Structure 1
Amino acid sequence: MADHSGHGMMMDLPPFTLARGLELSLDPFFLISSLVALGLYGWGVARLVRRGDAWQAGRTVAFVLGVLSIALVMCTKLNDYGMVMFSVHMVQHMVISMLSPILLLLGAPMTLALRALPVAGRGRKGPRELLLKVLHSRYMRVVTHPAFTLPMFIASLYGLYFTPLFDFLMESKTGHTFMMVHFLMVGVVFFWPIMGVDPGPRRPGYVMRMLELFAGMPFHAFFGIALMMASQPMIGTYMSPPASLGIDALSDQEAAGGIAWAFSEIPSVVVLIALLFQWRRSEEREAKRKDRAADRDGDKELEQYNAYLASLHARGS
């Protein structure tokens, strides 16, 4: 196995426990990114509140939980253990690619930005106008299309873990950070057209969204099963765990596979519930719209009938 430069300083890690895993071990990139994200979101909410506009508290809670879930796996010792334990790394991967994106998207950060950013003057383009242009660009139509998101979702498992690319990225903290950012972005673009509430270039019907969701989930399960059924360690980085951990590489790989297999079910349920809730709200809004249209039509018919009676009365007089 290659000598990974990121591992040498971690060879004396004690055996993993949840308490040890949750101890702080700050990653500068994810720490700063998390603080900036929370700060910008808080600024947007405060701006709406100051001018008397409403913003759903549930969206704020979802976004904060999404950022905190990223910080949990990247700014604690879970990140250190994830460099030498496949099972802990898989927890990081599942959270940052399947749980964090769902929570962030439920927070509707793009919608908040569009409502909070000032409108540029006539003939000018400010941050709000540039954001709208990006959201409706051809690039966004491509990266949010299932023909792109589903293969990317699958490649992030099979094309990364079962090729030398994974070991190459794990040779350094920088490579590991890049990998985690990739997992997060893949999760965002996969779940955005399915259950995101932000505006985007495409928004298929609810049945189609469910089909897209369930088209991707089995690949996570198959990936987990492949790891659990393997008769020898398959990932070079985790073939020789530090002796201080007191773990067996094959058993740790089986645990990682079990995590990948089990975790694929949780986001599916959460997204399905969110989809059904959005579908119900959409139907309610459509019913109200039709009721208002019917009321307007009824008012017009009544006005026409009254005018007709008035004309008859006038002719009779």
Structure 2
Amino acid sequence: MSGHHAGGVDLLAVLGPVVALLALLAYGLLVGRARRRGRSWSLRRTASWVVGCLLATAAVSGPLAAAATSSWTAHMAGHVLLGMLAPLLLVLGAPVTLALNALSVTTARRLSRLLRSRPLRALTEPTVAAVLAVGGLWLIYATPLLEVAHAHPPVDVVVHLHVLLAGYLFTAVLVGPDPLPHRRGTRHLLAVLVLALAAHDVLAKRLYAAATGPDVLDEQRGALVMYYGGDAVDLLLAVLVCLRWYRSGQRQLDLERPRARPQGVLG
């Protein structure tokens, strides 16, 4: 997903690599600090964070972003990277857990209190996270917002930031290893994921049907990238949700306790 500015400085292409570099440096510093405190950190999680940052950067800066200025197919490939695949890899990097291991006891306690705050409890409700992620895409592609973003670089930055953060939040709620204020049961998570997948697919089909003009084939290919690329990532999310359920030993998908409120990691 990339802006289509006709000229001037591409603010997004400049800020994207800078933010990614800062994220990589911050993560590396936390890893080093955690190890100095005698706490090991998984190389797999570090690699996941690094690749996630690189994919997010590729979506807004570089050859793919440049191709997106004239190709709807490239634009949608960027959308899948920025809003779905990069967030998944960033979430699997477990940055909050790393911070809790690396920070001082006082700072870690402050972070824990923030994680238990009411705003985060609301944001980490699966339904809320799904509405922010998929509902945001409907707002972008079913309204004039995308054209406004292309004409105004600051708006473009905000739109892309929302796509990344909303994708991160939704993924973290479903499969994140980091602590959350509360966690819903597997059946609840899968139901929300299926509904979100359906809403995403309907949007892709709508864009496919609405394709017109001389670039109709490119627009249709872009819609197909959105459809099948989104399905592939969502299928992976479903597998990870089920894998967590399997590992937890809750083989009955919480059917015995349909009204029970799952205990949160943080209490």
Is residue 148 of structure 2 the alignment partner of residue 168 of structure 1? yes
* Greater Rg by CA: 1
User: 2: distance between equivalents of 1:84 and 1:188?
Assistant: 27
Paired position in structure 2 for 1:227: 207
Task: For residue 83 of structure 1, give the secondary structure of its aligned residue in structure 2.
Answer: coil
Counterpart-to-counterpart distance in 2, 1:85 and 1:9: 19
Deviation at 1:231, TM superposition (A): 5.3
Name the TM-score, length of structure 1 as normaliser: 0.72
| CA–CA distance in structure 2, aligned partners of residues 204 and 5 of structure 1 | 39
Root-mean-square deviation over aligned CA pairs: 2.4
Does residue 271 (structure 1) correspond to residue 251 (structure 2)? The answer is no
Contact 2:88 2:171 (8 Å CA) reproduced: yes
1:78 counterpart residue number? 64
The residue number in structure 2 matching 1:297 is none
Q: Distance in 2 between matches of 1:52 and 1:149?
A: 35
1:37 Cα shift? 0.9
CA–CA separation in structure 1 for the residues paired with 2:15 and 2:101: 28
Structure-1 residue corresponding to 2:21: 35
**Counterpart residue identity of residue 255, structure 1:** R
Equivalent-residue separation in structure 1 for 2:204 and 2:127 (angstroms)? 23
How much does 1:186 deviate?
1.1
* Maintained 8 Å contact 2:129/2:173: no
Distance 2:96 2:206 in 1: 38
Q: Which runs of 4+ in 1 moved over 3 A?
A: none
Would you say 1:117 and 2:116 are equivalent positions?
no
Distance of 1:54 and 1:34 partners within structure 2: 24
Shift of 1:106: 0.8
Partners of 1:87 and 1:198 lie apart in 2 by: 34
Asked if structure 2 preserves the Cα contact closer than 8 Å seen for 1:6 and 1:170, the reply is yes
Q: Once the 2 structures are TM-superposed, how far is the Cα of residue 174 of structure 1 from its aligned partner?
A: 2.9
Select which of 181, 189, 202 maps to 2:161: 181
Task: Give the corresponding residue for 1:218.
Answer: 198
- The letter of the residue matching 2:239 is I
Q: Is the 8 A contact 1:105 1:192 kept in 2?
A: yes
Q: What is the CA distance between 1:69 and its match in structure 2?
A: 0.8
Shift, 1:26, TM fit: 8.7
Aligned 8 A contact 1:26 1:76 in 2: no
Alpha-carbon separation, structure 2, partners of 1:201 and 1:178: 27
| 1:45 CA drift (Å) | 1.5
Deviation at 1:147, TM superposition (A): 3.5
Matched, 1:207 2:206: no
Map Cα deviations across residues 126-179 of structure 1 (whole Å, 9 max, x no partner). Answer: 3x2332222111111111223422222332222221212221111133332221
Instruction: Structure 2: give runs of 5+ residues left out of the alignment.
Output: 251-267
Task: Note the C-alpha offset of 1:85.
Answer: 2.5
User: Is 1:45–2:11 an aligned residue pair?
Assistant: no
CA contact (8 A) 1:5 1:172 kept: no
State the Cα distance separating 1:208 from its structure 2 match: 1.8
Aligned pairs for 1:122-137 (under 5 A) are 126=107, 128-137=108-117
Residue 34 (structure 1) shift: 0.8
Separation in structure 2 between the aligned mates of residue 45 and residue 93 of structure 1, nearest angstrom:
30
Change in 2 beyond 3 A, CA 1:133/1:226? same
Q: Give TM-score scaled by structure 2 length.
A: 0.84
Match of 1:252 in 2: 218
Change (3 A) 1:172 1:85: farther
- What amino acid sits opposite 1:217 in the alignment? L
- Tell me: CA distance 1:275–1:148, structure 2 relative to 1, closer, same or farther (3 Å): closer
Q: Percent identity?
A: 28
Partner of 1:7: 6
The answer to whether the 8 A contact 1:105-1:197 is kept is: yes
- Identify the range of structure 1 (140-149 vs 93-102) with the bigger mean alpha-carbon deviation: 140-149
> Which residue number corresponds to residue 88 of structure 2?
102
Between the two proteins, the alignment pairs up a number of residues equal to: 247
Residue 52 of structure 2 corresponds to 66
